[in-house]
Amino acid sequence: MKKIFIAFIIVSLFHPGFSQAPVRTGPPALDKVKSLTLPTPVRFTLSNGLKVVLMKKHNVPLVQVNLLIETGNYDDPLGKEGLASFAMDVLDEGAGNFSALQLSDEIEYLGAQIGTGSRPFSSEVNCTAPLARLQEAISLMSTIVLRPAFADKEIDRLRKLRLNGLLQSYDEPNAIANRAFNQLMFPDNSPYGRFSNDKSIRSYVREDLLAFHRTHFVTGNSTLIVAGDVTRESIQPVLEKYFAAYPKGNAVAKTRPTPIQVKGRSIYIIDKPGAAQSVIQIGRLGPARNDPAYYAANILNTIFGGSFTSRLNNNLREQHGYAYGAGSNFSFWNTPSPFLSSSSVQTDVTGAALGEFFKEFDKIRLPIPADELNRGKNYNALGYARLFETNSDLASTLGSQVLYQLPDGYYNGYVGKVLAVTPQEVTAAANQFIVPDNMLVVIVGDRAKIEAGIRQLNLGNLNFLTIEDVLGKKPVL
């Protein structure tokens, strides 16, 4: 009987009335994009004045605790370029009674992760820990934060690594292009155009690191960001216990001048003989993070160069085969900040690829077709939730809320505001922020092979630099 029943099912599956041919006339229609719904962050202050921002996430017994310091790489003193980054690197190389290796062993034993680092306008100490070992992990984190050793042997070791890294950058076209672009975009000793160099790296001494820690690790310049399987009632006593000694103090004034917009079209070729590819970077100043055009600029960038299916990538990679990829982005600092489009292209097509960049600059300033605009809006709206997938993602996004002084509820309203962007707003943003006649162009490549092709474009006067003009003399190790 069982065999007859199985045979009946098999025959039925192949009967014309049972099966239904799939519809392949087009992709399935998108459902209405849902808005993100996050709980309101819980805010409180420890007894010493240290601010805390907490968002609960109870699906996994893990917790992320970040100490956000509102001082970063662009706040380095003149002559001490790279100090913030260096200090944060040394911070966890031994603390309290632990050597660097002992500290690493203790963290690993807990199944936790503790890291340190810096960015343009902030620095962080990050701790990820299972809920069951959270107190021990926060104890180690606070030891790193409050009692870093800044041992001379670790300073010397990391200094050698930094100098080696600097020496390697002379052979890294992207590193050369990045530095050249910022130095040319932000002249006159602007903090945005200065980078660590042989002299500054050699100048760091223990007292510099202690001064950085003493000045910036204070309550008025810091916020604890907590995300994960905790409540205020469970986490506040733990934070009080281990961060009670965090120093009180006000944030020192930062020198963050408003940059000057690029005027005219300046083209710089940095000669790298024998280079198999040319790195092209083109840009100018874009909007600040609080600019009303923020949402339109995001959609604009997605369409132009911010996604795999963007116009720029489709042109240089898919249509012409000049490069593996091409892209663009807006920096969105708290002040007007760079819009940058870039690619690494084959040497023999450098001129042709540069010409395609400017064709796309011109095209993006025209009205964008409705279907392309909708794809760009949906790309932003549907991908937005990935910023909140893990505790680490969530804490990072909450940190951005603190840095950019965004109101509670901002993230819940993002999808709706993106979907409400009009074609006129995107075209207006393109004409305001992408101006082909006022662009800085930086190209790192073999001058002997690329100069003629670039000249044929008649984009403007060419300027020539050497790698040492950009990075300085090579360090002697």
pLDDT at 20 over 70: no
Question: Looking at the chain, how many residues does it have?
Answer: 477
- The CA radius of gyration of the chain, in Å to the nearest whole number, is 26
Q: Are 375 and 426 in contact (CB under 8 A)?
A: no
The answer on pLDDT for 364 being more than 80 is: yes
Asked if the model's pLDDT at residue 29 lies above 80, the reply is no
For residue 198 the two structure tokens come to 């042989």
User: Helix 370-383 vs helix 410-419: angle between axes, to the nearest 10 degrees?
Assistant: 160
* Structure confidence at residue 19 (pLDDT): 52
Report residue 21's pLDDT band, with 50, 70 and 90 as the boundaries.
low
Amino acid at 289: R
Residues 399-435: pLDDT tens digits? 999 999 999 999 999 999 999 999 999 999 999 999 9
Q: What is the pLDDT of residue 5?
A: 47
pLDDT at 391: 96
Pair of tokens at residue 7: 């045979």
Question: Is it the case that residue 342 has pLDDT exceeding 90?
Answer: yes
- Tell me the per-residue pLDDT of 164-199, one tens digit each, with 9 for 90 and over: 999 999 999 999 999 999 999 998 789 999 999 999
Beta carbons within 10 angstroms of residue 13's beta carbon: 9
Question: SS3 of 119, please?
Answer: coil
Place of tokens 């540069």: 354
Global pTM value: 0.91
Residue 409's φ and ψ, nearest 5 degrees, are 90, -5
For every residue of 417-433, DSSP letters joined together read HHHT--HHHHHHHHHHH
pLDDT confidence tier of residue 13, bands split at 50, 70 and 90: very low
* Run of H or E including 414: helix 410-419
Q: Identify which of 281, 298, 255 has the alpha carbon closest to the alpha carbon of residue 420.
A: 298
Domains of the chain, earliest start first: 42-243 (3.30.830.10), 266-471 (3.30.830.10)
| Interval 200-258: pLDDT, tens | 999 999 999 999 999 999 999 999 999 999 999 999 999 999 999 999 999 999 989 99
Angstrom CA distances, 208 to 64, 90, 382, stand at: 30, 12, 46
Cα 354 to Cα 321: distance, rounded to the nearest angstrom: 13
**Whole-number pLDDT of residue 22:** 66
Rounded to an integer, the average pLDDT of 158-164 is 97
Among 34, 31, 256, 52, residue whose Cα is nearest residue 138: 52
Residue 321, token pair as written in the block: 């085969």
Burial 210-246 (b: 16+ CB within 10 A, else e): eebbeebbbbebbbbbbbbbbeeeebbebbeebbeeb
Buried b / exposed e over 247-280, threshold 16 CB at 10 Å, is eebeeeeeeeeebeebeebbbbbbbbeebebbbb
Rounded mean pLDDT, 328-343: 97
Looking at 5-9, 31-35, 131-135, which range is the least confident one? 5-9
> What pLDDT, in 10s, does the model give residues 60-102?
999 999 999 999 999 999 999 999 999 999 999 999 999 999 9
